[in-house]
Chains A and B, each alone.
Chain A
């Protein structure tokens, strides 16, 4: 459907390119009963890049992410992860939710929360513990924090635990649903920078859903702007801001302001035009 500026790969060659494409949505549509929320959503996310799905609240971002993760099957079109069609949650795909306090188990220590998906998938206790400890270290949590319960930590720290749980799973694709929407502005900036660092250092493929345009531009290599009802891809904006980004300097560049304005225009409905 109306996809302007998508990477333009002919669909027939998608299979041959699947090595470079971590995630692809093809003509994805979803309807609840008769109410269409997504229609003809098309995009690709290159391996090792950071992509943000941005759109106004209620546009169907969460539905889209649920379809991408395989938690929900779409009513039309399809999703591919690493070239494989998604019918159910795929191995190697990890999900971080907005509500950290409900997605972590209050009766388990931080370490055991991070270990659980590994242990449940048949990884030995010793290896799971080592992987969990390493993942916690990556997000800046030490052994002392690992012995605590999630509710003994601040909101930002809890979300770090949720990120560590996803990292320990060693995902080829990391999906994040508004992960920083429930923390304060400073914590949010810290977590954004943490995600940028982790994504670069671990060469992760991250797809993050947000309603915050600044956040989307700041984090992304590519911003996938959604708008309309049912939601469609308004445009895909490449963000050539380089890999070294900083909350103050990057956000005060003219380039950032221009990208921000462009995405803003797209999300508000003036398609493809840069304002």
Chain B
């Protein structure tokens, strides 16, 4: 494995850039534009197909199992005019964001510090591997008992579930330090602090970002799941409430909200990654 493919694998990007790069170089602009149109067309086509399947399911399945796409959108429009809707979205987003910030602020520095030491890495591995395999939902009853069905309780579940990929990936990031850059720094007598901030930390970024991306998704999923199961306020419990009142269109409207939140978070993360890791093999543009 070359270092480039390894880097690519590190942040989970398929190794297509070489071929893409080559075609970009060799093909005339017109073909490139045609290719972009084709890709866009394919994306829209798949979306339309998915909506059609949804619609087909809604007319064939028994009544009240699945509303049609149109009905769902209309319900969503009606809901979005109510203050309760925005309150639920606000709580969910706030819990998710706070959870992510806490996981990052704790997980990344702690992971890097542990990873910087081989002994620390080896001695903590067993405990972390044990803790990370506990399904966060399994501790829900306990946390519910302690905090009641509140945003605070959801936050605890989110942190306990989402910190592991961030922590473990940060440990891994620190272990991946390029030995040649250490030699280079030593031979040029680069002071330790300068090495850490200018050479070591930027090198860990691709691996840390992978952990953050996984952690971000888990944060959002757990926020909504914990709300749904515990009845703590938020989009999750709105899904549950709508279901309890057999208001299927409202339930699907809130599911759609959860999906849209996920999409926004993913796109935001993707943009952040392109910005922060523009130098990385997965984002490189030839000069």
User: Known contacts A120-B191, A149-B279: does B183 contact A97 (CB below 8 Å)?
Assistant: yes
CA distance A152 to B21 in the complex (A): 12
* A residues 75-110 touching B (CB-CB < 8 Å): 89, 91, 93-95, 97, 99, 101-103, 105-108
Q: Which A residues touch B198, using CB under 8 A?
A: 116, 120
Residue A148, interface by CB 8 Å: yes
Are A107 and B189 within 8 A (Cβ)?
no
Q: How many CB-defined contacts (below 8 Å) exist between A and B? A: 73
Q: Which of B180, B188, B279 is close to A94, meaning CB atoms less than 8 Å apart? A: B188
CA distance A152 to B189 in the complex (A): 27
Are A89 and B189 within 8 A (Cβ)?
yes
Q: Which A residues touch B125, using CB under 8 A?
A: none
Q: Which residue of A lies closest to B276 (CB)?
A: A107
Residue B175, interface by CB 8 Å: no
CA distance A117 to B190 in the complex (A): 6
B209 CB, min distance to chain A CBs, angstroms: 13
Residue A121, interface by CB 8 Å: yes
What per-residue 1/0 map shows which CB atoms of A61-81 lie under 8 Å from chain B? 000000001110000000000
Residue A256, interface by CB 8 Å: no
CA distance A106 to B7 in the complex (A): 12
Q: Which A residues touch B186, using CB under 8 A?
A: 71, 89
B205 CB, min distance to chain A CBs, angstroms: 8
What per-residue 1/0 map shows which CB atoms of B24-60 lie under 8 Å from chain A? 0000000000000000000000000000000000000
Q: Which B residues touch A120, using CB under 8 A?
A: 185, 188-191, 194-195, 198
User: Known contacts A101-B3, A120-B190: does B279 contact A106 (CB below 8 Å)?
Assistant: yes
User: Known contacts A95-B183, A148-B287, A149-B279: does B188 contact A105 (CB below 8 Å)?
Assistant: no
Residue B202, interface by CB 8 Å: yes
Are B279 and A89 within 8 A (Cβ)?
no
CA distance A244 to B203 in the complex (A): 43
CA distance A95 to B199 in the complex (A): 17
Chain B contact residues: over half helix, strand or loop, or mixed?
A: helix
CA distance A101 to B2 in the complex (A): 11
User: Known contacts A148-B287, A169-B188: does B181 contact A102 (CB below 8 Å)?
Assistant: yes
Q: Which of A71, A91, A108, A149 is close to B183, meaning CB atoms less than 8 Å apart? A: A71
Are A103 and B189 within 8 A (Cβ)?
no
Q: Which B residues touch A107, using CB under 8 A?
A: 202-203, 205, 279-280
Q: Which of B183, B187, B286, B287 is close to A93, meaning CB atoms less than 8 Å apart? A: B187
Residue B284, interface by CB 8 Å: yes
Are B188 and A117 within 8 A (Cβ)?
yes
* A residues 95-154 touching B (CB-CB < 8 Å): 95, 97, 99, 101-103, 105-108, 116-117, 119-121, 148-149, 151-152
A74 CB, min distance to chain B CBs, angstroms: 16
CA distance A107 to B181 in the complex (A): 13
Are B199 and A105 within 8 A (Cβ)?
yes
Q: Which B residues touch A101, using CB under 8 A?
A: 3
B281 CB, min distance to chain A CBs, angstroms: 8
User: Known contacts A89-B189, A120-B188, A169-B188: does B178 contact A151 (CB below 8 Å)?
Assistant: no
B201 CB, min distance to chain A CBs, angstroms: 10
Residues of B within 8 A of A (CB): 3, 178, 180-181, 183-191, 194-195, 198-199, 202-203, 205, 279-281, 284, 286-287
Residues of A within 8 A of B (CB): 69-71, 89, 91, 93-95, 97, 99, 101-103, 105-108, 116-117, 119-121, 148-149, 151-152, 169
Among all A-B residue pairs, the 9 with the closest Cβ atoms? A117-B188, A95-B187, A120-B190, A152-B287, A120-B194, A107-B279, A102-B180, A107-B202, A103-B180
- 16 A-B contacts, Cβ less than 8 Å apart? A89-B187, A91-B189, A97-B183, A99-B180, A102-B181, A103-B180, A103-B183, A105-B203, A107-B279, A108-B202, A120-B189, A120-B195, A120-B198, A121-B191, A151-B279, A152-B287
